[in-house]
Structure 1
Amino acid sequence: MLGSYRAELLKLRKRSAVWVLFGAGLVLSLIFGYLLPYLGYATGDDNPETTGVPRSEILHGMLPERVLDNTIGGYPIFAGALALVLGAIVIGGEYNWGTLKTVLTQRPGRGTVLGAQFLALGTMIVLWVLGIFTACMLCSVGIAAAEDGSMAWPTIGALLKGLAGGWLVLMMWCLAGAVLAVAFRNVALPIGLGVVWILGIETLLAGVVSSLLPSLKWLANLLPGTNAGSLVFAVTGMSTTDAPPGVRDAVTGTRALLTLLVYCATFAAVATWTTRHRDVT
């Protein structure tokens, strides 16, 4: 397992697509977390989009105290979609290129290879979370210094809890992409289905249930995106009025945590079982 894990890390480090996806997530976080709000703050008196919103409130959302909100607020939808693409290209690429057969002839078993890939993906997600947090932290400090804002920070415990929750959300979506890649032995179809689900279908289902079928609310509360958004809402403590798309208090934080863990375990188990019991060609 250790040798396979090192090999998978090497492959991830040298794949440009991995860093392009990370860069996309980083840029989205900075644009929606800092650039657009700062432009709204700087042009508050002349910007019709910020009419009625105190400039001090806009500034407060960019200060170090709210760094967690800006770091993981986009994880349930936008960064989650990128994580799903990551899982799909890493696992599905082995089928597209026909390299999985070659890897399996070198000695490692199917379960070992897949487990090493999951560990490598989990490690890469850690780097994603820490990288985005670092960039958001620097932006928060820069804006606070430039605008003479507060330098108060969340507690270490709150930061660790928030970053761990963000990692779990991204890892769940990454494993979703992986299990789809194993199921279809491809890259394009898992990416298409997964991204459409995250960005469209689940949001539509939640809206229909909320407005037309309230008796099925229990079903909507089982969806992965709903629980991802609820976990982010719980660990950040943001208000419903400030929450970005996909982040809401549909279920409690504890329930969301347990549900996401069940999803991760299920996706990993299904992918492992399918890989072991089906032809890889």
Structure 2
Amino acid sequence: MSVVERTGGVRGVLDGAAVHLGAMLRRRATWWACGAWVVAGPFFGLVVLYLVVSLGGIPEPAASQVLAGLLPPALPGTVASGYVPYAAPYLLVLGAVLVGNEYRWGTVAVLLVQRPGRARLVLAQALALVVVVGAAVLAEYAVAAGVSATIAALEGAGATGPPGGALLASLAACWLAGSVFALVGVLLAHALRSPAGAIGVGLVWVLVVETAVRGLLAVLPGVGWVQDLLLGPAVGTLAVALGAPAVDASFGVGPGGDPVAAVAVLLGWAVLAVGLSALLVRRRDVPARG
């Protein structure tokens, strides 16, 4: 039996995704998590840096380079670089809370008793979440564009925006990166059946463990390539390809690499997160509340 047959067909997954999407949009957690990133991304990535430059906190010529990165032509790389690692906590929390609360409230048991198909349930959740992330990415990008245009006006710079191709590529990269972080949150929620536990483990990983692992692998001979399989370096590679400055450090964007390989790594993480989530749900008894 094919995967499509086991999940009730593509139409069944789409119908389930529509139901989950409606439920997600009615939850305050969705608006809080997405709204926090929509505000925090442009604030820390643009406003704070501009204030530091304006107050003389960065000496020349570095100040001019930082300011150039805040203007509209540099927007594709600047916005994408904000996903390493600043977007990760917000979007991981989004996935962990939306799915983890299903266990806390006991609604997973109700859904599975209704026999929608366990793999179909996970695929529908994932698809709905990807749509929510896409909306958050567009909103954050729009706010960032407005802030960047304001900075350009204050500095008397031209009104030239980024090339259309680079803009679309940046949106796609941000959507992919954000979706992967959210799906990792979903995986942790299914594994721990608790939003709090999923958030704790996820934040420790993206903010502490992955950075430590990157730093360790960078100094060990012959294993530096392993860090390219981590989420942070993969997203950072895309940001560098879009114009963000490369930084040879264990925290932040990183030195860059092959963007095609980075896309493959991120897609691999997405497939792994959804696949393991489906496996966990299929092999468990119907969970009870708590």
TM-score by length of 2: 0.88
Indicate whether 1:31 and 2:39 are aligned.
no
Does the 8 A contact of 1:230 with 1:250 survive in 2? yes
Which residue does 1:53 correspond to in 2?
61
Letter in 1 for 2:277: A
Distance 1:202 1:275, change over 3 A: same
2:216 pairs, out of 208, 215, 232, with 208
Which residue does 2:28 correspond to in 1?
16
Which residue does 2:201 correspond to in 1?
193
Which residue does 1:263 correspond to in 2?
269
Cα deviation digits, residues 235-274 of structure 1 (max 9, x gap)? x222225999521235311111111111111111111122
Counterpart-to-counterpart distance in 2, 1:30 and 1:170? 15
Deviation at 1:167, TM superposition (A): 0.9
* Paired residues, number: 275
Q: Which runs of 5+ in 2 are unaligned?
A: 1-11
Does the 8 A contact of 2:234 with 2:265 survive in 1? yes
Counterpart-to-counterpart distance in 1, 2:247 and 2:197? 36
Counterpart-to-counterpart distance in 2, 1:243 and 1:66? 21
2:154 pairs, out of 139, 143, 146, with 146
Stretch moving more, 51-60 or 80-89: 51-60
Which residue does 1:96 correspond to in 2?
104
Distance 1:58 1:237, change over 3 A: closer
Indicate whether 1:166 and 2:174 are aligned.
yes
What is the 5 A alignment of 1:76-87?
A: 76-87=84-95
Counterpart-to-counterpart distance in 1, 2:201 and 2:157? 44
Cα deviation digits, residues 183-237 of structure 1 (max 9, x gap)? 12221112111111100111111112223x1322122222222212222222x22
Distance 1:209 1:242, change over 3 A: closer
Deviation at 1:117, TM superposition (A): 0.9
Counterpart-to-counterpart distance in 2, 1:227 and 1:157? 20
Counterpart-to-counterpart distance in 2, 1:88 and 1:141? 34
Does the 8 A contact of 1:74 with 1:244 survive in 2? no
Deviation at 1:4, TM superposition (A): 2.1
Q: Which runs of 5+ in 1 are unaligned?
A: none
Indicate whether 1:227 and 2:234 are aligned.
yes
Cα deviation digits, residues 124-149 of structure 1 (max 9, x gap)? 11011100110011112222223210
Does the 8 A contact of 1:80 with 1:170 survive in 2? yes
Counterpart-to-counterpart distance in 1, 2:165 and 2:60? 35
Which residue does 1:181 correspond to in 2?
189
Does the 8 A contact of 1:38 with 1:59 survive in 2? yes
Does the 8 A contact of 2:177 with 2:266 survive in 1? yes
Counterpart-to-counterpart distance in 2, 1:280 and 1:105? 8
Stretch moving more, 127-136 or 64-73: 64-73
* Secondary structure in 2 matching 1:50: coil
Distance 1:229 1:99, change over 3 A: same
Which residue does 1:240 correspond to in 2?
246
Q: Percent identity?
A: 35
Distance 1:250 1:72, change over 3 A: closer
2:73 pairs, out of 59, 62, 65, with 65
Which residue does 2:285 correspond to in 1?
279
